[in-house]
């Protein structure tokens, strides 16, 4: 019985007129054959799956990999070309966003003249964008672990606490609870630094009157989480409060509009149009969200440039923000899974305006 994940590859082969596909992207390898190591290759044809790796990963591959054949190579390119020739493949697709230019040149130079290596990009974008039950559980598990760690360290978020110190404590709390790794460098951006959408934690001391944006996540069983809260340290400037309420309403409109069949660019517009109408359009300069799973950022992209449509069991973030230079910023981020009727949040921290009493 063929796995539904491989079926997606067979459809890709058919649509692109290929007789085989070479996967080398780590996330795709894990997704398609279960390999969690950092270096290997999977050849998929409608009849065969061949996994290749080097000496370091042979024991691991025999434990993890679902493939008809596991082959050891000394040099990746030579090993791959040997299998390609043995299978008699002539039109082989490869991941244009993963393989380096050198790797492709090398594959081409080692292959026979009858072999064509064909770059594939957009056909791969839908490979992992719709999640299965196992993946949804893994993502929800990561999100819930990260949220519990956040709640544990929240009391440390007080005037005088260094952004970097809070980020460190949050990372430790996630790791202590079993996370494999933080999903990305934790963002703690307080006061004026809140205007930096990717303000990685600095040595700035958090102060009374600051809004603090904390964007964090972890990796658990290979899957990531991603959530952002913005909190007030004591009473904040009314303008900051206003932008908070604007972002919150934009988020509400976007979440409300998510259902299968809706264009992702229209979901972006639901949030963006509201922020523009409130006069802050110039201060929301990034897309509304991104897909997430085995990678923190994966397809689909939720932005005005997106041409995909929401499908049941897609998982992506909704993260509107407003960033006012010299003043501060707000971002609120949730992870959602598209359901038959709408969407379900996988992140659970409260998002209403919250003032931490400045003890």
Residues that bind Zn ion (CB under 5 A): 215, 226, 228, 317, 333
Q: How far is CA 215 from the centre of its chain?
A: 13
CB of 11 to Zn ion, least distance (A): 29
Question: Measured from the CB atom, is 153 or 336 closer to Zn ion?
Answer: 336
CB of 319 to Zn ion, least distance (A): 5
Question: Measured from the CB atom, is 229 or 240 closer to Zn ion?
Answer: 229
Question: Measured from the CB atom, is 44 or 346 closer to Zn ion?
Answer: 346
Question: Measured from the CB atom, is 84 or 349 closer to Zn ion?
Answer: 349
CB of 78 to Zn ion, least distance (A): 40
CB of 179 to Zn ion, least distance (A): 15
List, in order, residues 6 or more apart from 202 with CB less than 8 Å away: 163, 164, 188, 193
Question: Measured from the CB atom, is 135 or 215 closer to Zn ion?
Answer: 215
CB of 355 to Zn ion, least distance (A): 22
Question: Measured from the CB atom, is 169 or 333 closer to Zn ion?
Answer: 333
CB of 218 to Zn ion, least distance (A): 12
């Amino acid at each position: 019985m063929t796995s539904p994940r491989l079926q997606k590859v067979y459809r890709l082969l058919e649509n692109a007129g290929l007789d085989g596909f070479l996967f080398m992207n780590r996330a795709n390898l894990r997704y398609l054959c279960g390999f969690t190591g950092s270096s290997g290759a999977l050849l998929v044809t409608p009849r065969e799956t061949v996994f290749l790796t080097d000496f370091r990963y042979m024991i691991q591959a025999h434990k993890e990999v679902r493939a008809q054949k596991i082959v050891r190579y000394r040099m990746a390119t030579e090993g791959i070309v040997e299998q390609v020739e043995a299978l008699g493949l002539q039109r082989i697709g490869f991941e244009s966003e993963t393989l380096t230019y050198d790797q492709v040149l090398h594959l081409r130079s080692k292959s026979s003249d009858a072999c064509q290596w064909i770059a594939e990009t957009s056909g791969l974008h839908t490979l992992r964008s719709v999640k299965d039950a196992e993946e949804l559980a893994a993502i929800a598990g990561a999100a819930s672990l990260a949220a519990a760690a956040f709640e544990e360290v929240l009391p440390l978020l007080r005037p005088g606490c260094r952004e970097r110190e809070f980020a460190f404590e949050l990372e430790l709390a996630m790791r202590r609870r079993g996370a494999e790794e933080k999903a990305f460098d934790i963002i703690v951006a307080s006061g004026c630094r809140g205007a930096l959408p990717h303000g990685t934690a600095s040595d700035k001391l958090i102060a009374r009157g600051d809004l603090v944006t904390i964007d964090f996540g972890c990796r658990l069983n290979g899957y990531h989480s991603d959530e952002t809260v913005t909190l007030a340290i004591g009473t904040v400037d009314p303008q900051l409060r206003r932008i908070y309420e604007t972002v919150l309403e934009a988020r509400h409109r976007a979440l409300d509009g998510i259902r299968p069949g809706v264009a992702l660019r229209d979901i972006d517009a639901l949030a963006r149009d509201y922020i523009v109408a409130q006069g802050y359009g110039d201060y929301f300069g990034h897309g509304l969200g991104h897909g997430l799973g085995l990678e923190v950022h994966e397809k689909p992209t939720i932005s005005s440039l997106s041409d995909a449509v929401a499908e049941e069991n897609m998982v992506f973030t909704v993260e509107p923000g407003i960033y006012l230079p010299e003043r501060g910023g707000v971002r609120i981020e949730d992870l959602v899974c598209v359901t038959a009727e709408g969407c379900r949040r996988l992140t659970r921290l409260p998002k209403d305006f919250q003032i931490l009493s400045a003890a």
